[in-house]
Structure 1
Amino acid sequence: MAWNTPGSDNSGGGRPPRRRPGGNNPLDGVLESLRGLFGGNGGGVGRWVLLVVGLWLVFNCFVLITEQQRGVVLRFGEVARVLQPGPHFKLPWPIETVAKVNATAIKTFSTNVPVLTRDENIVQVDINVQYRVSDPQQYLFGTRDADAMLQQAALSTVREQVGRSTLDTVLGARNALAVSSREQLQASLDAYRTGLVVTEMNLPNARPPEEVKPAFDDVNSAQQDKDRLISEAQAYAAQVVPEARGQAARVRTVAEGYKAAAVANAQGDADRFSLLVEQYQDAPEVTRKRLWLETVEEVLAGTRKVVGGDSRQLIYVPMDNAGGQGGSAARAPMLTPETLSPEVTSTAPADTGGSRTGRTPRTGREEVIR
């Protein structure tokens, strides 16, 4: 026994064991026990082994789950519970084990596959699927390989959806196919208990095989030309139809206005004639003379006149010159009074009798009114 072991009788005048002031403390007993466990030479290796085993058990029972992870606790190989993010304790191995799954990472599956359409055409379709883990327990133990199951289910779903569609639909309207394929793929994953959820599924490209690509390019060019011509025709129709409708409305409005004016004029003429008949019946001579004066006034108002000195009325008749230049026909020279009324020789009556001896010749008109 060592000379400083508590309770030993050292006869060599050694110092008695040192005690701490303050009386008996329970913590001192624990410390003395640890000193006794690891202080002697005998059994020191076993004690250190026990210490290592104790520390291993402590660290083995502590589990830290990060924010991106979920932990599935297995108790003798059977699922016991699912651990959420944070620190946790479990029973030591081999009683309980923890399988960590990254539940927030987005995984991607992309491939290209030839598919037969409903109208018996082969088309190369690109597939892009993005997914993540929604149920860690089903992801680990619902199926043997959830990722491989998703890949096979995606190929099967795309083949089915494209096989129900025509080539034109696959080449020009893939968005609807992608939506229906995503819904069917998610239903298949739920039925297979994969624990996966599809966040996005696209069919970014669809093209014919390389052997027949020139023919398909010609078809696409023709389709584009067709769409362009249809668009141009629709634009032309959108421009012409409103103009035609506006012109038709204008003609209809003018016709309706002319109709109303003609009816009103006819009605007014009929009323005026009825009133004239009544006036004529009351005063025939006065009415006849007034009508004659009004008619002459209306006729002479729009006619150019030349009035001579002898109160005879001569009508001025303008005549266009067929040989005019400069794009405008020149007016013919005005007919002079001498041309219209040549000189007339007459004799004045004699003072003695009723015979006429002559008249004083007149050379022209006193006034010309235009």
Structure 2
Amino acid sequence: MVRWNMKEESERVHYSLNFKLYAQDKFFGPGVAQLLRKVDETASLRSAAADLKIAYSKAWNMIRTAEKSLGYDLLIKKVGGKHGGGAQLTPEGRAMLDKYTAFEKAIYQSADVMWGKIFPEFAVTGSDTLAPQVETIEHASIGVGAILMASGFSRRMGYNKLLLNLGEGSVAEHILDQIQRQRYAAVTVVSQYAEILEMARQRGFLSVMNKQADEGKSSSIRLGLKTMAKIEEIKGYIFFTGDQILLSDELLERLRNTFITHPDKIIYPEYEGKFGSPVIFPADLAPELVSLKEEQGGRFVADQHSDRLLPVPVQPGWQGLDFDCPEDWEKVRQLWNYRKQDNGKHLDKE
């Protein structure tokens, strides 16, 4: 039996960057950026400081120091709000935060490439650092990490189905964008295809090159879980395949919210009375998932814990459709086009 050594994974050689902006002295860095994001979320500097476990006076000092160096206000006082008064970002403050975040992401993407080239013996992938994901974990979907398994061979399709055109991008781009909208605590994309991994990196996701794809879906599960093993905040993992383009955002939100209220349960969508994907597994089942062999999937583990299964009924049931051959693709694509034409107003109720 394969045993998952969490300590061994957490001690794997990796790198971390921590960049800051200076005038004469440091005035803007990860701490200020995180504080501004919290203010944007809570509409209160006091609440933001409390959530981040720093003194209110220290929070104000951080903001004032940055404002002095920048020459403009980052926050303005707000009357009313959740806590009877608070603060909000100024247009200049929001622009500064957006620029810093974009620069941070670009720096990590460049560093990831060099890390993989210069230290290939240490790199699981070209994107080995967890820092960008961990930095904003408080603002993400609490406790749920997402893993996209995109290593299949598409043999029956005769072509990489993730690269099929949906009109405004590929299947893979649609799936990745939908996952991004959910703001999971962390996202890992496992694939044997460089173009898919590049799409993941462009969205700030962790990416893992799967060199054992011929071992079956268990290899993607194993690599995805081990890559996120260091993120203690994750209490559950949701597993996506790359060919369910009809899932609604509302369904994904229901799955996540059900898990948040029942974190000890295996949460799955029930399509017309049948077990379906994507499934959220509690983190304590990770060792069993890592131990899966060849084409065994999460359903194998779920069947061993029938007392922990909690279904989320889904209507319409066709949201769970996937495709493995041209005939399936044509059916799914037609449903996709019909729903897009009426914005889901009628089809999603059928």
Same fold per TM (> 0.5)?
no
TM-score by length of 2: 0.21
Work out which structure has the larger RCO, using CA pairs closer than 8 Å and 6 or more positions apart in sequence: 2
Higher-Rg structure is 1
TM-score (norm 1): 0.20
